[in-house]
Amino acid sequence: MTTITPYLTVHDAHAAIDFYAAAFGAVEVGERYEEEGRVGFAALSIDGAPLFLSDEAHEYGAWAPATLGHATGSVALTVGDVDAAYARAVDAGATVDREPSDQGDERRGWLVDPFGHRWVISTPIGATQP
């Protein structure tokens, strides 16, 4: 089995953890490693899928989109109801990029979280929950 886990670098990990909880229902799992108020590692889970994050650590080459001025990648999240998840993320502070729409065999929308990371949120057509 192969597993891949997004590991995001953010400008304010404490705020990011709160945002991902409010926007995507993330819960923190495992130990959080902090030194001098800076999060070196935190493990979150979104519906069982892992997401790691840390504050910037320039000495280790870890730069946040907010510092760089742009995202360097995107995170894809599949959910049961893309419209509800998208609205919840926007209400929590995400910026609208592309509203959810039917695209091929998925309904998907794009947004940018408050920390500069791009997210595509999708639901397979026919799987949307009422």
pLDDT, tens only, 9-53: 999 999 999 999 999 999 999 889 999 889 999 999 999 999 999
**Model confidence band, residue 123 (pLDDT cutoffs 50, 70, 90):** very high
Task: Determine the angle formed by the axes of helices 13-24 and 82-92, rounding to 10 degrees.
Answer: 150
Q: Are strands 49-55 and 106-112 parallel, antiparallel or unpaired?
A: unpaired
Q: H or E stretch including 72?
A: none
Instruction: Give the integer Cα–Cα distance in Å for 55 and 103.
Output: 34
Between 47 and 1, the higher pLDDT residue: 47
- Chain segment 58-86, per-residue pLDDT in tens: 999 999 999 999 998 899 999 999 999 99
Q: What angle do CA 65, 106, 94 make, to 5 degrees?
A: 30
**What was the pLDDT predicted at 87?**
97
**What was the pLDDT predicted at 2?**
61
**Model confidence band, residue 129 (pLDDT cutoffs 50, 70, 90):** low
Between 90 and 66, the higher pLDDT residue: 90
> What is the layout of strands, in order, in the sheet containing 27-35?
7-10, 49-55, 38-46, 27-35
**Model confidence band, residue 4 (pLDDT cutoffs 50, 70, 90):** confident
